[in-house]
Amino acid sequence: MELGNWITACIDAGVIALVSRTLFLTYAKKEQELSQERASRAILLERERLARVLHDQIAQSIFYSGVQVSSARTKFQQGMVETLEKDLGDVLLSLREIDENIRQAIFNLRQDPLEGSDFGERIRFFLDKSLSERNISWDFQVSDRDITLSPADQVQLFGILQEAIANVIKHSQATHVTVRLTSESADHSHWTFLIQDNGIGFHTNTVHDGRYGMEIMASRARDIKAQFSIQSESGNTKVTVRR
């Protein structure tokens, strides 16, 4: 009877271990599938946002350039040659902005948060590609390499970085940019993402005119339940995302 009890206990333990292993493997598989689904959704949302950018910025800029060309042609036909130089100059500026926006959109589409390189490496690659070619120095600092961000966090923070760097290139006349990712808690649930430049700055009341894309960056921050702020003065502009 004692031997039978031991055999029964061993059989029960084996069955429990087998069932538990199967349950844990099923749970791990579902968790991995859920993580991949979240990452795919983050990428899909970013693609949709880029589509809106293509429509709202690039398509409208092309339409405006067409209006400018039509106006210049009319003035030429009417003999108003003296005002053509300014109109054509405006057309050239619009075309340059369109070119820059298209290049930026193409670069954004090529960036995939599921690629082998980590978030920090993608940031360094982007800063080098965007700033070094324009003789703007930069540095990127991470306070703790154990900081982990979800795919959605990475997508939105990278989008904010792209928008901020585009502003630096177009408007700031900066010579140096600093990007920092710092953690404010032991479990890294609280972090700060900072983009700082030494450019000429601007009045923060221009955030409402749409010129600097502040609403786009603020919207991205809200999507990941983070706070967005910007401070600007001559020689020191800071874009901060904090959670």
Beta strand spans in the chain (E): 137-142, 176-183, 191-197, 227-233, 236-242
141 φ, ψ (degrees, to nearest 5): -130, 135
**Best CATH choice for the domain 116-243 from the list 3.30.565.10, 3.40.640.10, 3.40.50.360, 3.40.50.300:** 3.30.565.10
- What are the pLDDT tens digits along the chain (243 aa)? 777 777 877 787 777 877 777 777 777 777 776 666 766 676 676 667 666 666 666 666 777 777 778 877 887 778 777 777 777 777 777 777 777 667 666 665 565 544 445 788 889 988 998 898 889 999 999 876 667 788 778 888 988 998 899 889 888 899 999 999 998 777 667 899 999 999 988 776 655 444 557 887 888 898 889 999 999 888 899 999 999
CA distances from 126 to 122, 134, 176, 178, 187 (A): 6, 13, 15, 13, 28
CB proximity list for 103: less than 8 A, separation 6 or greater: none
**Is 0.75 topped by the overall pTM?**
no
Instruction: Of 151, 141, 153, give the one whose Cα is nearest residue 182.
Output: 141
Distance CA 6, CA 13 (A): 10
Q: 238 with 195: CB under 8 angstroms?
A: yes
The distance between the two most distant Cα atoms of the chain, rounded to a whole number of Å, is 115
- 3-state secondary structure at position 119: helix
Amino acid at 240: T
